[in-house]
Amino acid sequence: MLTKRIIPCLDIKNGRTVKGVNFVNLRDAGDPVELAKQYAVKGADELVFLDISATLEGRKTMIDMVLQVAEQVNIPFTVGGGISSVEDVDVLLKSGADKVSINSSAVKRPELINELANKFGSQCVVVAIDAKQIDSEWKVHLAGGSIPTNLDLFEWAKEVEQRGAGEILFTSMNNDGTKNGFANEALAKLSETLNIPIIASGGAGTVQHFVDTFKEGKADAALAASVFHFGEIAIKDLKEELRDNNIEVRL
């Protein structure tokens, strides 16, 4: 059985880690390089860094940060935000990132997924999908959740897999920052539909929420931010609890 992964997520704005609720009301959560170093020591399986403003200035900051993180950590890390070309990815991977995450750029030009998978291998390509449940339908949103589309979450996820993505990072905008638990029903449906790993994101508030997303949501990995950044859940304690619930993790 594959071990389940615990992944702290660091949203980066102007070189700092920030955290909000439902994608707004951001507050400072610390220096990303320092946090990365701590998480690697404390037992995180991977890290995800998302440049949420992804301005030109932010892109330069991101490259510097990737170089610094690569020097400090010995676990895989994924970088996303503002990536729209093979060249962007080439620079990030050469700077030390293990994977890249694309979101809006993949929706705007789906061929980008094929190009990246063909050039760098599927294992490097994570497609992030931010979706919101409106009535009974899950609709994909772009640009940090600010632009709604008519794309259906499950149809888009299927296309993403077919185009060569190695993994999907699904964030439920309804659950993000609420600490009320992950969107396990949607996650389970994704898991049944797809053959690639799914990272659950949005809603972590308690250890039980992680247990539930692995058991009910059938997620392959769980990503969270504030509960880790602000010391509400220790990764070591979380993993021991998961193991006690017969969920295979790396201790």
User: Could you write out the three-class secondary structure of 124-155?
Assistant: HEEEEEEEEEECCEEEEEECCCCEEEEEEHHH
Q: For the whole model, what pTM was predicted?
A: 0.92
**Banded model confidence at residue 23, pLDDT cuts 50, 70, 90:** very low
* CATH, domain 5-244, list 3.30.930.10, 3.20.20.70, 3.40.30.10, 3.40.50.880: 3.20.20.70
* Separation of CA 171 from chain center: 8
Find the mean pLDDT for residues 18-32. 63
Domain ranges of the chain: 5-244
Distances from the Cα of 82 to the Cα of 13, 39, 51, 69, 147, angstroms: 12, 25, 7, 19, 15
Under DSSP, the state recorded for 123 is: G
- 93 three-state secondary structure: helix
CA pair distance 138, 73, nearest whole angstrom:
36
CA pair distance 217, 60, nearest whole angstrom:
37
Q: Which residues are catalytic?
A: 11, 130
**Banded model confidence at residue 80, pLDDT cuts 50, 70, 90:** very high
Q: What are phi and psi of 128, to 5 degrees?
A: -90, 135
Is 78 in contact with 100 (CB distance < 8 Å)? yes
**Does the pLDDT of residue 51 top 50, yes or no?**
yes
**Residue-wise pLDDT tens digits, 220-237:** 999 998 899 889 999 999
Under DSSP, the state recorded for 6 is: E
pLDDT score recorded for residue 61 = 59
